[in-house]
Amino acid sequence: MKSMTGYGSSTVSLEHAEVSIEVKAVNHRFLDMQVKLPNPFQFLEESIRRQMKRHVFRGKLDVVFHLEENRNTKRKVTIDEELLEQFKQASDLLQGKLGSDFPLDLSALLLDNGVVQIEEMSEDKWTEHEQLLQEGLMQALLSFNNMRETEGNYLKQDMLKWLQEVEECCDRIEEIAPMLIDRYREKIEERIKQYTDGEIEIDESRLLTEIAIFSEKMDISEELVRMKAHVIQYKHYLDKTDEAIGRRLDFLLQEMNRELNTIGSKAADSIIRQHVVELKGFIEKLKEQVQNVE
């Protein structure tokens, strides 16, 4: 099990540059990936996205490459001589038309990317280092996943603690539930005696029928069985390490809440209802942690 939040980084040293790679993520319902690359590395974007989707399933994910070129990286200044000649002819034409001195402004020409260009290292040269860059990405991803697994383990231990509380509380309800029938019988007998002053003998068969109807209405054994089944399934998902389980855990918690609502409405007993309230508190604790699970 992994947390959605994490951070990992690595550095790739090339002959002419140093590349730092960051992989970081925070909570998000789905996978929302942003890949930020310097211009020379745009050719890597699709392969990076494919790689990340194999390892990350949920979260707001950022993959960032920072390029720091060495000062001695070879660059080349090129001049578009044909365009420069057109500028010169235009300048001469203005001087002839206006009869004024309009010297060609060299500084303006240097700022014009159309006339003077600085050629960076060719894209072909960067692609030669694709394998090294991919290896650097995998190192950052490994660091990122190690952090997520560590945090995920803390989440798992905390959730196991609350699941234990859920199981123990369900066991207490299971112990109390059979006593409801005896309490109901005693209550009916007491009321009949109270209203008749004990002068009318209780019809045992009628009483048993009433108790059977009550027992059927108040039976919560199936809900308790499903609650325990959900807890077992929840623990099973916690052991998974190769897939996203957050949505499944969230669904199980919704089902557990439904069972608790049914138990609370069926059980005409204040003690059981107190346990239901307690259980809902444990479920809320689990929900808080599930929001962090991938």
**pLDDT computed for residue 269 by the predictor:** 76
Q: CB-hemisphere CA count at 13 Å for 31?
A: 14
Instruction: Please tell me whether residues 188 and 231 are part of one structural domain.
Output: yes
pLDDT digits (tens, 9 = 90+) for 166-205: 999 999 998 887 776 666 566 665 665 565 665 556 556 6
Instruction: Please tell me whether residues 164 and 192 are part of one structural domain.
Output: yes
How many folded domains does the chain comprise? 3
Instruction: Please tell me whether residues 183 and 253 are part of one structural domain.
Output: yes
Instruction: Please tell me whether residues 129 and 106 are part of one structural domain.
Output: no
Instruction: Please tell me whether residues 88 and 165 are part of one structural domain.
Output: no
- List of residues 6+ apart from 46 with CB closer than 8 A: none
Residue 1: inside a domain:
no
Write out the residue range of the structural domain in which residue 157 sits.
151-290
Element (H, E) at 63: strand 59-69
pTM: 0.70
pLDDT digits (tens, 9 = 90+) for 258-289: 999 999 888 777 888 899 999 999 999 999 99
CATH number at residue 49: 3.30.230
Q: Exposed, middle or buried: residue 216 (CB in 10 Å: 0-12, 13-18, 19+)?
A: exposed
